[in-house]
Amino acid sequence: MNPQNSGCLSRRHFLATSGFHLSAFGLAYLLKQDGLLGAPDKPDLEVPHYDLLPKKPHYEPQAKAMISMFMQGGPSQIDLFDPKPELDKLDGKKFPGDIKYDDAAHASTTVMASAWKYQKHGQCGTEVSELLPGFASIVDDAVLLRGMQSSVNNHGQAIYALQNGRVLGGRPTIGSWLTYALGSESQELPAYVALTDPRGLPVLGVDNWTNGWLPSIYQGTAVRSKEPRIPNLDAAPYLRGEAQDNYLGFLNQLNHEHLDRHPGESDLEARIASYTLAAKLQTAAKEALDISKESESTKRLYGIDNPATAEFGTRCLIARRLVERGVRFVQLFTANQTWDHHMGIIGSLPAACKYVDIPAAGLVKDLKQRGLLDSTIVHWGGEMGRLPVIQYDSGRAKVGRDHNTYGFSMWVAGGGFKGGMTYGETDEFGHHAVKDIVSHHDYHATILHLFGLDHTKLTFTRNGTAMSLTDNQGGRLVKEIIT
């Protein structure tokens, strides 16, 4: 292309004809080195290129992939993971301290002990509620975090905190950061997959797998909960075979010619990459999402033989198949507010647990027996917990619990996390985390560390500012819970 005819100068033409300007670049660089110029360390002469090819981390990683089961709404730590004998003593009485309510209009000060029994399990002796027999069977492989804190006591902001590090939207999620940093081991499947619930999208919808201001290629790919899991995957009959190959080849040629004329257009690069991936998905995705050839014993392990657990079990099994084939990050969601038990917790919490508990435990067991757990992080948890007092105090069938982001529980396993361990404590009422607190920044810093990434060095420059998942908001590496 002739730059004079195009009405603009190419980089090559500019450098070949502008000796004075080139020396000015050198001067600017020296001034910057002396701290006298707030400019880049060196001239940015190369247009950045983004792809999903495998990349080296900052140091040797322990984890290569992650499966996150996000229980949006706020599972009640008091009724599932964090037994509180003091609440048993005070059940039905006035709460003796201060409570931070989210919904003060329907709040009460009446203490509500857990309605379910706790028992010790595993060699570690971790106490687990009777509602979670699946988790009870894998406690020796997991770290139970009882001192979690997120941020604002509302769903949206707390979800953002766990997903993208801040309470505001428009930022890249942790899955996008991981694929930006490390790429993918597979070039035939999406690097980052979101598996949605057939009962409804999660709170905030697609914000849960957004790339934010990272290049579009790092956005998560949503896979439906029912067939067709990826719509429009097959070409029309008249385009299949050689016809499709010729068509895609010609389209690829046109796209790259256009990209050559518009270098640095990350959205265009992402679109081209998506076309290329779509062609490969016609074979690879069908195979990865098809569980029909899995053994019956494997399906039973995930609870697929039981109508109550079959749907979530199928998604857990698909998650294992995806990471087994090189996908970097998979996140499974429960439906909108499944765990938000403001009312009717006595009936609703057991149902929510039954839907996910056996499949989640089956996933950990299956990864372990296949030798994948050591390199795959498994996460289970929500954005908050619940309060120790009754909400909607109008009879046992209607009572519930309000939001609590000040102290709650979740668990992690594999990928370098220790097994058979509890970490962190809440106060005697299960309201506030008081010991070995893990904030969402600490959680993110620790996850990145296990992938061989320093959260302070994993950055993306936006408008001249180096942005990160933790953004200098803290981020303690929780060394006590990793091997």
Can you tell me which residue has the tokens 């979101």?
194
On whether residue 276 sits in a domain, the answer given is no
DSSP single-letter state for residue 418? -
Handedness of CA 294, 296, 300, 304 (dihedral sign): positive
Q: What's the mean pLDDT when you consider all of the chain? A: 87
State the distance between the two ends of the chain, measured CA to CA, in whole angstroms. Answer: 56
5 in any annotated domain: no
Cross-strand partners of 439: 149
Q: In what helix (H) or strand (E) does residue 4 lie, and over which residues does it extend?
A: helix 3-6
Q: Quote the CA–CA distance of 194 and 221 in Å, as a whole number.
A: 6
Residue 433 lies in a domain: yes
Regions in the chain scoring below 70 on pLDDT: 1-47, 231-252, 254-256, 258-259, 262-282
Cα 143 → chain centroid: 18
100 lies in some domain: yes
Q: Do the bridges between strand 408-413 and strand 142-149 make them parallel or antiparallel, or are there none, so unpaired?
A: antiparallel
What's residue 3's pLDDT? 39
> Is the C-alpha dihedral spanning 365, 367, 369, 372 positive or negative?
negative
Inside any domain, residue 17: no
pLDDT one-digit tens code per residue, 92-129 = 999 999 998 988 889 999 999 999 999 999 999 999 99
pLDDT tens digits for range 261-294: 766 666 666 566 655 655 556 677 889 999 999 9
Give the per-residue pLDDT at 52.
93
Coil, helix or strand for 466? Answer: strand
Q: Which domain holds residue 371?
A: 65-232+296-481
Residue 172 lies in a domain: yes
Q: Please give the tally of structural domains in the chain.
A: 1
Alpha-carbon dihedral sign for residues 355, 361, 362, 367: positive
Candidates 232, 258, 259, 263; CA nearest to 47 is 263
pLDDT at residue number 252? 65
The rounded distance, in Å, linking the Cα atoms of 128 and 168 is 34
What span, in angstroms and rounded, lies between the C-alpha atoms of 208 and 224? 15
- Per-residue pLDDT, 170: 94
> Does residue 60 belong to any structural domain of this protein?
no
Q: Does residue 431 lie within any of the structural domains?
A: yes
Residue 258 has what pLDDT? 67
The CATH number linked to 313 is 3.40.720.10
Nearest Cα neighbor of 163 from 218, 231, 210 is: 210
